[in-house]
């Protein structure tokens, strides 16, 4: 695998290596609430599809106010 390729799946314990600022404990809490990206279990380990995490993150934009349009 080259450095440009992303893995198909990432374990919860390694998710912060691909997505800085996304805490594994937050993902665990969201999963227990039935929210967050879709998760897959293999034994005791929890995995996420990288594409599912990316889609989940892009569906949650932070709306900001354009400061230039306020000064009228």
| Alpha helix ranges (H) inside the chain | 15-18, 24-32, 50-58, 67-70
- What pLDDT was estimated at residue 62? 84
Query: Does the residue 48 lie in any domain?
Result: yes
Phi and psi (nearest 5°) for 65? -95, 130
The domain total for the chain is 1
In a domain, 66, yes or no: no
- As a whole number of angstroms, the distance between CA 57 and CA 65 comes to 20
**70 in a structural domain:** no
> Does the residue 3 lie in any domain?
no
Tell me whether residue 46 is in a domain.
yes
Model pLDDT for residues 3-45, shown as the tens digit of each residue = 578 899 999 999 999 999 999 999 999 999 999 999 999 999 9
Q: Which domain holds residue 26?
A: 9-61
pLDDT(59) > 80? yes
Examine residue 51 and state whether it is found in any structural domain, yes or no.
Answer: yes
**Rounded Cα gap, residues 9 and 1, in angstroms:** 14
Asked if residue 67 belongs to a domain, the reply is no
Rounded distance between C-alpha atoms, residue 2 and residue 33, angstroms: 36
């Amino acid at each position: 695998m080259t450095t440009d390729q992303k893995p198909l799946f990432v374990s919860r314990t390694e998710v912060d290596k691909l997505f800085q600022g996304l805490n594994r404990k937050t993902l665990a809490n969201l999963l227990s609430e039935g929210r967050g990206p879709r998760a897959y279990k293999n034994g005791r380990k929890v995995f996420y599809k990288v594409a599912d995490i990316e889609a989940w993150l892009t569906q949650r934009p932070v709306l900001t106010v354009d400061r230039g349009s306020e000064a009228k």
